């Protein structure tokens, strides 16, 4: 069994003071810069951890039980599990909450059960129970239904001021929000052009799986629709993270108040899974929130949080469930200045992973250990430094990190879906790729989201066609960073054509070539940059793979 051990940062600046919360399975950081008030945040109530060791397959395994002493068991033999629970007098309940989930969602997760290990047992007795559960016929995986959190201080931060030239747009519209002149991020992504075409997220619902939302905030109140708390109580935000990310994407625009979100007329559905300290309660609340969104008319899910580690089947199945129902899924790539290849949920195949860019189109970096994650699992960058967001209790604060970048990208996804409701999740990903700006960072050339070009691409797509079942990206067009040989190698199971385009301009650099089976394309003659291979089989829809040439 694997413990939950992924960490993310959340910093709060208070004048010249700052504290940093490092959170396991928690929010991808946003930093409040400016006029935050109050005393330094500290926590003394660290969770009690019981380590339970057991043997399976000759290897000693460790499963950590926290606070609630609950585990999630995936089984292929429900009869055996129910008999075990009855024999030992344990509490058992389904992973899917029947009071809020559709029958379809409950049926899709029948193999997952939550079992409560009695807290009054001795450690040796808990160890025996977990060992017996592990060896029970049909058991596939056991996961703790809780994650640990801790805080540590941090003081390394400087405020900066950025100035930008005016951007020439075809038909820009500047909203009357008084703080809009400070929103460099919206101008960088050319949002004004999209708003000028009267596309602003109308009739699109974005679910924020987060800490809730400040339902009284002047710039959010008109866009909030009923949501749900999966940890008890209301979905009112007592922490601030959910209020910030929802405002970056969907703060009401053109209302003579505060700021404008990317998709400023999109609806905000708060799905609360974090408590007032920014801590996740358990796996069950996260998984239930994803399937709830899928069955309640949501178009886009924003997940501004993550963890390093291994994929978890229940989480991945929930995301696949949402994806198959047509939801576009965005998640933060994380703020550890590290490769994000095993950073989840952003690294799942059906999720669009978002990293953070700076005002000068570099990679957002705070110091050697704090900065935007990067790597092949990152689909796009979006503005994530000194970006104005809505603040808990009213007002506005500047933020930085991949949490905010994810919200920016989610907003662009909402604009695309308003422009063309026929787009599938994979087509949204592909069009974002085809329309993005190529920027040069310390990790090479990457793609940064461009709202104007993305919506133009969406408008050019056929509309009103019969909806296709969303599919995962094909393995034959896996995104790739070319090695020193500069060979792009791929396998095509059906006859078709492959065309290569330059991402930054959309210019075709390789005429269509007939492909079937294994194919090598020599990129030696192409300059370093980001390219796309577009594969069009004789039957079926075209597929797109990203190709990064570093030298």
Catalytically annotated residues: 210, 241, 403
Residue the block writes with tokens 């409040």? 32
Per-residue b/e over 74-104, b at no fewer than 16 CB within 10 Å? bbeeeeebeebbeeeeeeeeebbbeeebeee
Cα–Cα distance, 56 to 160 (Å, whole number): 54
**Helices and strands in the chain: count of H runs, count of E runs:** 11, 29
Distances (CA, A) of 492 to 196, 426, 476, 538: 42, 19, 6, 11
Number of neighbours of residue 446 by Cβ within 10 angstroms: 26
Is-contact 500 547, C-beta < 8 A? Answer: yes
Q: Which of 256, 80, 197, 140 is nearest to 456 (CA)?
A: 197
Alpha helices by DSSP H, listed for 152-190, are 184-188
Greatest pairwise CA separation for the chain in angstroms? 72
| DSSP-assigned beta bridge partners for residue 51 | 64
Residue the block writes with tokens 């990903």? 429
Cα–Cα distance, 241 to 350 (Å, whole number): 24
What angle in degrees, to the nearest 10, is found between the helix axes of 123-135 and 78-88?
160
Q: Is 512 helix (H, G, I), strand (E, B) or coil?
A: strand
Distances (CA, A) of 344 to 140, 207, 305: 21, 18, 9
Secondary structure in 3-state letters for 38-67 = CCCCCCCCCCCEEEEEEEECCEEEEEEEEC
Distances (CA, A) of 179 to 72, 263, 398, 402, 407: 46, 16, 11, 22, 18
Is-contact 199 226, C-beta < 8 A? Answer: no
Cα four-point dihedral sign 275, 281, 286, 289: negative
Strand runs (DSSP E) across 57-130, as ranges? Answer: 59-66, 70-75, 91-94, 112-116
Q: Which of 62, 48, 46 is nearest to 2 (CA)?
A: 62
């Amino acid at each position: 069994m694997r413990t939950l051990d992924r960490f993310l940062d959340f910093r709060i600046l208070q004048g010249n003071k700052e504290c940093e919360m490092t959170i396991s399975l928690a929010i991808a950081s946003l930093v409040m810069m400016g006029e935050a008030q109050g005393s330094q945040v500290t926590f003394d109530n660290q969770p009690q951890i019981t380590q339970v060791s057991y043997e399976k397959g000759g290897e000693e395994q460790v499963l950590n039980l926290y606070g609630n002493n609950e585990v999630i068991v995936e089984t292929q033999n429900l009869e055996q599990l129910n008999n075990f629970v009855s024999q030992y007098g344990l509490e058992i309940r389904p992973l899917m909450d029947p009071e809020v989930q559709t029958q379809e969602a409950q049926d899709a997760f029948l193999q997952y059960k939550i079992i409560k290990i009695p807290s009054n047992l001795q450690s040796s007795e808990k160890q025996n129970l977990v060992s017996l559960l592990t060896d029970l016929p049909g058991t596939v995986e056991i996961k703790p239904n809780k994650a640990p959190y801790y805080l540590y201080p941090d003081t390394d931060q400087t405020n900066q001021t950025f100035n930008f030239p005016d951007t020439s747009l075809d038909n820009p519209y500047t909203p009357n929000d008084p703080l809009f002149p400070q929103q460099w991020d919206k101008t960088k992504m050319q949002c004004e052009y999209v708003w000028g075409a009267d596309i602003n997220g109308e009739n699109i619902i974005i679910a924020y799986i987060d800490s809730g939302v400040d339902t009284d905030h002047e710039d959010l109140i008109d866009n909030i629709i009923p949501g749900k708390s999966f940890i008890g109580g209301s979905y009112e935000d007592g922490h601030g993270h959910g209020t910030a990310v929802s405002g970056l994407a969907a703060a009401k625009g053109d209302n003579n108040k505060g700021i404008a979100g990317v998709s400023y007329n999109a609806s905000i559905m708060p799905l609360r899974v974090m408590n007032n300290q920014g801590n996740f309660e358990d796996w069950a609340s996260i998984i239930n929130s994803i399937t709830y969104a899928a069955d309640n008319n949501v178009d886009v899910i924003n997940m501004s949080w993550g963890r390093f580690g291994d994929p978890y089947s229940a989480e991945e199945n929930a995301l696949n469930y949402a994806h198959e129902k047509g939801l576009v899924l965005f998640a933060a790539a994380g703020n550890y200045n590290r490769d994000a290849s095993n950073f989840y949920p952003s690294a799942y195949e059906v999720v669009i992973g978002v990293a953070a860019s700076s005002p000068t189109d570099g990679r957002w970096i705070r110091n050697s250990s704090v900065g935007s994650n990067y790597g092949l699992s990152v689909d796009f960058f979006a503005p994530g430094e000194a970006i104005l967001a809505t603040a808990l209790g009213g007002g506005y604060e500047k933020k930085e990190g991949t949490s905010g970048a994810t919200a920016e990208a989610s907003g662009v996804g909402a604009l695309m879906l308003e422009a063309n409701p026929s787009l599938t999740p994979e087509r949204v990903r592909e069009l974002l790729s085809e329309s993005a700006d190529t920027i040069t960072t310390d990790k090479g050339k990457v793609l940064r989201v461009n709202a104007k070009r993305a919506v133009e691409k969406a408008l050019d797509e056929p509309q009103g066609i019969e909806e296709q079942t969303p599919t995962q990206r094909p393995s034959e067009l896996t995104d790739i960073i070319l090695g020193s040989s500069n060979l792009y190698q791929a396998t095509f199971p059906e006859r078709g054509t492959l065309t290569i385009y330059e991402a930054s301009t959309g210019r075709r650099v390789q005429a269509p070539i007939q492909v079937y089976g294994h194919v090598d394309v020599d990129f030696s003659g192409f300059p370093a940059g980001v390219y796309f291979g577009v594969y069009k089989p004789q039957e079926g829809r075209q597929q797109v793979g990203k190709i990064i040439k570093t030298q």
